[in-house]
């Protein structure tokens, strides 16, 4: 499927607070993500707690050891909604 990508304002706010090294990691993963958000190199997995809370399937991709980006699908739109440590799952 061909996806369109959008990001929530909070995602961008947190992205700009990342260290330069973390931003570079995000950019490297983004190159893969924009081709396929479910590419095995991203470690994409469902976050059950958030999925239950928001009544939609919410996924996470691994950027670094404790840096994740959270997204959901709305038709052909991939909404990236947050970025941060595992604490964003709460």
- What is the distance between the alpha carbons of residues 61 and 78, in angstroms, rounded to a whole number? 13
pTM of the model: 0.92
- pLDDT bin (cut points 50, 70, 90) of residue 1 is confident
Domain enclosing residue 8, as ranges: 4-89
Choose among 59, 62, 63, 65: nearest CA to 81.
Answer: 59
Structural domains of the chain, count: 1
- CATH assignment at residue 76: 3.30.2310.20
- pLDDT for 86 equals 84
pLDDT, one tens digit per residue, over 29-81 is 999 999 999 999 999 999 999 999 999 999 999 999 999 999 999 999 999 99
């Amino acid at each position: 499927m061909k996806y369109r990508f959008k990001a929530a304002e909070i995602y961008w706010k947190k992205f700009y607070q990342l260290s330069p090294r973390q931003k570079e990691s995000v950019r490297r993963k983004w190159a893969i993500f924009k081709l396929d958000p479910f590419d095995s190199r991203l470690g994409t997995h469902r976050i059950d707690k958030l999925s239950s809370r928001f009544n939609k399937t919410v996924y996470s991709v691994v950027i670094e050891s404790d840096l994740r980006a959270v997204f959901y699908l709305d038709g052909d739109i991939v909404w990236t909604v947050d970025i941060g440590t595992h604490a964003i799952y709460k």
